[in-house]
Amino acid sequence: MVLTLLSFAFVIITAIFTFKTARDNGYNAVGWTALSVVLFFSLPIFAGVAFVVVLYILLGESGADEFLEYYMFLTSIVMMLPAVVSSLLILRHVNTLKDDDLPIEPPTPGELGL
């Protein structure tokens, strides 16, 4: 439950920072924020399913049910890692300035004929 609350707080804070940073740097703020939020909620589903399938293949019928709570916590951590990484990568991308927004160098005095 604590991990769920922390993840919701993280996605809200990251969405706010992504929107503000994208808007300030000339990116599509709504699009990048929506992509960040959608990836944050969809990647854990795929990562969790993949991890549980791998865990089932490895443990199989070994009778490891006594460690079920440990594996549930580990699955939660594995599910959140791609979501957090994707949000931080999007935030890093929108934090860079676009090349067309860079200032143009002023002409030298020789070019002005002075």
> Residue 73 has what pLDDT?
82
> Residue 114 has what pLDDT?
62
User: CA 106, 109, 111, 114: dihedral to nearest 10 degrees?
Assistant: 140
> Residue 30 has what pLDDT?
96
> Residue 2 has what pLDDT?
81
Q: Mean pLDDT for each 10-residue chunk of the chain (114 residues)?
A: 86 96 93 96 92 80 66 85 94 84 70 67
User: CA 12, 16, 19, 25: dihedral to nearest 10 degrees?
Assistant: -140
Residue with tokens 């009778």: 63
> Residue 65 has what pLDDT?
63
> Residue 15 has what pLDDT?
96
CA 35 – CA 44 distance, rounded (Å): 14
